[in-house]
Structure 1
Amino acid sequence: KPLCQALEEPKIKANSEELPRSRSLHTAFQALHAFRREQGHLPRPRAPADTERVLQLARSLGTQEDPLDEDIVRAFASVSAGDLCPVAAVVGALAAQEVLKAITRKFLPLNQWLYFDALECLALAGATQLTETDCAPRGSRYDGQIAVFGANFQEQLGRQKYLVVGAGAIGCELLKNFAMMGLAAGPDGELVITDMDTVALSNLHRQFLYRSADISKPKSVVAARAVQRMNRDVRVTAHQNQVGPATETLYGDNFFRHLDGVASALDTLEARAYLESCCFRCRIPLVDSGTEGLLGNVLPMVPALTEPLKPASAPGDGTFPLCTLRYFPCTIQHTLQWARDEFEGLFQLPAKHVNQFMKDPAFLEQLPAGKALEVQDSLRERPRDWRDCVCWARRHWQSRYHNDIAQLLHTFPPEHETSPGVPFWTGDRICPHPLTFNPDNDTHLDYILATAHLFAQVHRVPPCRDRKATQDILRGVVLPPFVPQERLQIPLTQEQEEAQVPMDHRQLTELTQDLLQRRQELMGDEEAQVPLMEPIHFEKDNDIHVDFITAASNLRAENYGIPPANWLMSKRIAGRIMPAIITTTAAVAGLACLEIYKLVWGCQDLSCYRNNNIFLRNCLLLRTQPLPPPTYRVGPSPW
């Protein structure tokens, strides 16, 4: 419809309960435009005469299908000259997502009118008593906010002491909003930001407080500086710590009781649950925010007023039964998780255990026999140069993609049956086939290069990325033929996989003596560095790490006839990267700040708070009243 017709015959996106409210807002906007044409300005904040004139104009329009809600029109008119950063963030995010839909031609665009309001903020006890004098302009950057909530409220905002946990995508949006709102910008205010992470290249496209020059710098420090640039009055402090059991001496009960509230911008369910438990125990308000792609949610927790936040459940945490990963993968997710476990088992844990053993030989007593064997292998296989690293990677390739599969097929041949007429290799059990190494195969060579590079890094050997030189080394490597083991037990269930066969006492004694002797030799070696090895932690933004994961996973997939994944898909799945879209984070941060307005007022009316769920794919926003906390009766009194 053209605008003139749509104004008179609006098609509004709203459910049946919200439709009358949206129609009243539609009429209120038309009356507001009529008032501005008539008076040449917007209604003055909280001016009764201007508010009543807007109401008269709304009544005269006569375009309502439902009875006009005059209270909504009055509330709308009384604050229409103001502007709030959180509302701008929500509306801006909705509009930006519609632009993206138009550009990408993905998802159904909004058809005609959508109204969003947070008029429950005006129903707060402090807001209903405001006068025109309270909301008059002061010539400050906060005049738009003062027009809505008054000057005294602005002073309250400045005195707030808040903790923001997480300076990622949501954290950046929250901090920007806080700077614009003036939270903790008064003489007694305090804003603490904590995040143990550093800025990475992959953060820059959606975490807008960071720039290329900030890569590898602490997020909290960079974010605090950005807040200061936006509003130099904000009293902000940057911490580089995780909020968890390990930091309870720093973030204990006394720390939390010093705060007025906490804003959570964490990306793991475990961390969010821990933070919620701290706030619940110390009776500190918490606003919890989260996103996943085009989905987002905001949940306020007010002690003694709302129910405690329920721990959310992840749709999939990336864990699978060990026997599935080791012997019976059937999806690319299985092979990628197997590759992640390989990375940790080859380049992180053995190096960590060797360093601890070299520091304290008594550490050996804490290790299972299998891990002690890994320490022995790591000390035996120390490379001297790049050739040794390539040879080690080649042997490992043969073990993983040929010998292990050949052994599995020896134990369970393709024609094996679990019972007469019931084949073993059926359903999710895909019968594999061993691979034959070819140095001219790109995937084979990619695996060798990445594996040898990481092995060299662990042992502090200079790496080499020359493919031709590496191929020449590989052509000279001769490996013994595979000889299957008879009567080798392969676990078929999780329980069998977890059941370990203990090493006998004689073998364990010999292993311990050998390790102690090797330690003594290395301690006397002047060229040996301390720590001896360099553990490598998987980093999704390190290309060599992703190269290994991609090649290792795709070779495993080839063993089992599973379609491979490209480099970017492997990085996303193995790095457990959740699709993060800046429009969602902006909307979620705006909704969170609307709840913080209510907390600053000290509102104890449950009907004013909202649990928020947003679905930008459909431009759908669900805002519901939180549930009260459960009550228990002890004797004659409820608790």
Structure 2
Amino acid sequence: FSKFDRPPLLHIAFQALNRFICEFGRFPVARSEEDAQKFISIAGNINECLGEGGVEDINPKLLTHFAFGARAVLNPMATMFGGIVGQEVVKACSGKFHPLFQFFYFDSVESLPVEPLDPIDFKPLNSRYDAQISVFGSKLQKNLEDAKVFIVGSGALGCEFLKNVALMGVSCGSQGKLTITDDDVIEKSNLSRQFLFRDWNIGQAKSTVAASAAVSINPQLKIEALQNRVGPETECVFNDDFWENLTVVINALDNVNARLYVDQRCLYFQKPLLESGTLGAKCNTQMVIPHLTENYGASRDPTEKQAPMCTVHSFPHNIDHCLTWARSEFEGLLEKTPAEVNAYLSNPSEYATAMRNAADAQAKDNLERILQCLEQEKCETFQDCVTWARLRFEDYFVNRVKQLTFTFPEDATTSTGAPFWSAPKRFPRPLQFSTTDPSHLQFIMAASILRAETFGIPVPDWVKNTKMLAKAVEKVIVPDFQPKEGVKIETDEKATSLS
């Protein structure tokens, strides 16, 4: 946001580059003052032709930097644009999120050396790092190669960092060393986003496999893979000598406590820290420089907003509310309740004593759910599971809706006389169950299978056959709905508990 005036100039620069290539059949030679002047002249002509649509100042210094580095392909820049292009592809394929319908320019001129360097420093060395040397100089490249780096975590972010440092030549010199640690092992679910892992790596240590993949990218990489969690309990491994010898620390962690611990160690030993994190399409990054920037632990993220309980359970008005409600019900029915039942069955007297001593609404609710699971809704056969699923459908999508509209009719008003069912509230309509509706049968199929797995009941093959499943559902006797008077339905948006 500090470069709002930069994109128009970069647009001219790229047009000038295209014209330079057409005219001379090549890119400008790196660090060539002669080519830079030719490039600036072409850019000036393009700007003049634009008239009022041009820029006031073509900024010769910036265009010189542009010409000097036009030939270079830099891994960090390629990585960033690769991520953006990849996300645009996902947008186009999924129809989710709005794609870019414009030119998109990004520059990082501030990353260039501030002080003028000796032209000899930019001379190619006939190495894989010549592109970086042509932009940043051989001295910086040597510093990168001799750097002692500590990457904490080798998951999605860790794999990306490891690939990038290997391609840049970081820790690839005689004095360099990269240490990566992660106490986790590879699971099948990791393969979609942790790209250094393959099917045959499932069950192996993440850090070891990631290190091996990085070495295949750059055989000169000096790397040590550990399986230790970074924390107070491993200070015998990551001791004072270890921290004091580091050049930089890179966090690739998925929990705040570990991040805060690493941040404190970097603060104590005065080491720069690259902190970052991802959440879906969102991400954050923070470069912590000793005595220059604030550290990671100096600030806290604001508390995440939670959807009001009444909105989620009774008055949803967007898909996120529906997803939150579905997950809440799933966890309650298939995770929390079975866990409470198992705790009771393992030691009934001790569990009953604990609930009696608690003597709160939660304890009462737990006991009621246990009774419901073991007596009222106990399943012994798969047909029982189908019955349970059909009645659950009726409860969720018919009875609760009818009770809600009985308590709050379509013409209901608030205490101020305003219509109760006004935006963003949506007046609900109950579903009419039908075995010919694929989504209805899919609900029954999924719910009955999950219920069977919870009770350890074998799942028959016929459950995947829609006709046979429909016959099983038709056997279920569904009681008629009877509205209840005086039912309390939460309408206070300050209530956020989903329990």
> Which residue identity is paired with 2:180?
V
- Give the direction of change, closer, same or farther, for the CA distance of 1:71–1:329 in structure 2 (3 Å limit): closer
- Tell me the residue number matched to 1:604: none
How many Å separate the matches in 2 of 1:416 and 1:368? 35
CA contact (8 A) 1:24 1:69 kept: no
Pairing of 1:198-597 with structure 2 (within 5 A): 198=186, 204=192, 208-211=195-198, 222-236=209-223, 249-250=233-234, 257=243, 259-264=246-251, 274=260, 278=264, 281-282=267-268, 283-289=270-276, 298-308=285-295, 319-359=306-346, 362=350, 364-365=354-355, 368-380=363-375, 381-414=377-410, 416-419=412-415, 422-464=418-460, 465-466=463-464, 467-494=466-493
Instruction: Letter of the 1:438 partner, please give it.
Output: S
Q: Quick check: 2:148–2:177 contact (8 Å CA) kept in 1?
A: yes
Inter-partner Cα distance in structure 2 for 1:62 and 1:325: 57
TM-score normalised per structure 2: 0.71
Q: For the residues of structure 1 that align with 2:435 and 2:176, how far apart are their CA atoms?
A: 67
How far does residue 219 in structure 1 lie from its aligned partner after superposition?
Answer: 5.8
Aligned partner of 1:189 in structure 2 is: 177
Deviations 1:94-152 (A, max 9, x none): 78889999999964343xxx875544333346xx45561x5544444334334444444
Contact residue 199 and residue 219 of structure 1 kept, 8 A? no
Q: Within the alignment, does 1:122 sit opposite 2:112 as a pair?
A: yes
1:197/1:152 Cα in 2 relative to 1: closer, same or farther (>3 Å)?
Answer: same
Question: Cα deviation per residue 1:560-605 (whole Å; 9 max; x = unaligned)?
Answer: xxxxxxxxxxxxxxxxxxxxxxxxxxxxxxxxxxxxxxxxxxxxxx
Report the CA distance between 1:305 and its aligned residue.
Answer: 1.0
Aligned match of 1:108: 101
After superposition, the Cα gap between the structure-2 partners of 1:422 and 1:242, relative to the gap in structure 1 and judged at 3 Å, is farther
Residue 379 (structure 1) shift: 3.4
Task: Provide the C-alpha distance between the structure 1 equivalents of 2:405 and 2:286, rounded to a whole number of angstroms.
Answer: 52
* 3-state SS of 1:162 partner: strand
1:155 CA drift (Å): 3.9
Unaligned 5+ segments in structure 1 are 1-13, 46-50, 501-639
Equivalences for 1:82-161 in 2 at 5 Å? 83-90=73-80, 107-110=100-103, 117-124=107-114, 128-130=116-118, 132=120, 134-158=121-145, 159-161=147-149
Q: 1:167 aligns with which of 155, 160, 169?
A: 155
- Is the contact made by 1:28 and 1:73 (CA closer than 8 Å) also made in structure 2? no
- C-alpha change, 1:131 and 1:155, in structure 2 (3 Å) is same
- Please give the secondary structure, in 1, of the residue aligned with 2:389: helix
**CA–CA distance in 2 between the matches of 1:499 and 1:228?**
48
Structure 1 residue 349: deviation in Å? 1.2
Give the partner amino acid of 1:459.
F
TM superposition shift of 1:92: 6.0
Report the CA distance shift for 1:196/1:341 in structure 2 as closer, same or farther (over 3 A).
farther
Contact 1:21 1:69 in 2 (8 A): no
Q: What amino acid maps onto 1:185 in structure 2? A: C
Indicate the SS of the match to 1:463.
coil
How far did 1:345 drift? 0.8
Q: Secondary structure at the match of 1:141?
A: coil
SS in 2 for 1:161: strand
Contact 1:28 1:76 in 2 (8 A): no
C-alpha distance in structure 2 between counterparts of 1:344 and 1:130, whole Å: 64
Deviation at 1:454, TM superposition (A): 0.9
Q: Distance in 1 between matches of 2:286 and 2:44?
A: 37
RMSD: 5.0
- In structure 2, C-alpha distance between the alignment counterparts of 1:340 and 1:143, rounded to whole Å: 52
Give the superposition deviation at 1:346.
Answer: 0.9
Structure 2: unaligned runs, 5 residues or longer: 49-55
Deviation at 1:499, TM superposition (A): 12
CA distance, structure 1, for counterparts of residue 323 and residue 43 of structure 2: 63
Q: Is the 8 A contact 1:35 1:42 kept in 2?
A: no
Distance 1:30 1:222 in 2: 46
Distance apart, 1:339 and its partner CA: 1.2
CA–CA distance in structure 2, aligned partners of residues 195 and 23 of structure 1:
50
Q: Structure 1 stretch 362-371 or stretch 380-389: which is displaced more?
A: 362-371
**Residues 74 and 132 in structure 2, CA contact (< 8 A), matched pair in contact too:** yes
> Are the structure 2 counterparts of residues 193 and 481 from structure 1 closer, same or farther at C-alpha, using a change threshold of 3 Å?
same
- 1:22 & 1:412 partners in 2: Cα distance? 59
Is the contact between residue 28 and residue 67 of structure 2 (CA under 8 Å) also seen in structure 1? no
Please say if residues 197 and 240 of structure 1, whose CA atoms lie closer than 8 Å, have aligned partners that are also in contact.
no
CA separation of 1:248/1:480 partners in 2, compared to 1, >3 Å: closer, same or farther? farther
Alpha-carbon deviation of 1:272?
10
The letter of the residue matching 2:474 is R
Contact 2:401 2:429 in 1 (8 A): yes
Cα pair 2:251 2:259 within 8 Å, conserved: no
State the AA in 2 paired with 1:370. D
In the TM superposition, 1:14-29 aligns within 5 A as 15-16=4-5
SS of 1:371's partner is: helix
Distance 1:28 1:423 in 2: 63
Q: Distance in 1 between matches of 2:497 and 2:90?
A: 49
Give the superposition deviation at 1:273: 7.7
Contact 2:309 2:493 in 1 (8 A): yes
Deviation for aligned residue 1:485: 4.0
Letter paired with 1:372: L
- Paired residue secondary structure (1:192): strand
* Percent identity between the two aligned chains: 30
Would the aligned equivalents of 2:308 and 2:494 in 1 still touch at CA under 8 Å? no
Cα separation, 1, equivalents of 2:13 and 2:425? 61
Q: Distance in 2 between matches of 1:62 and 1:345?
A: 65
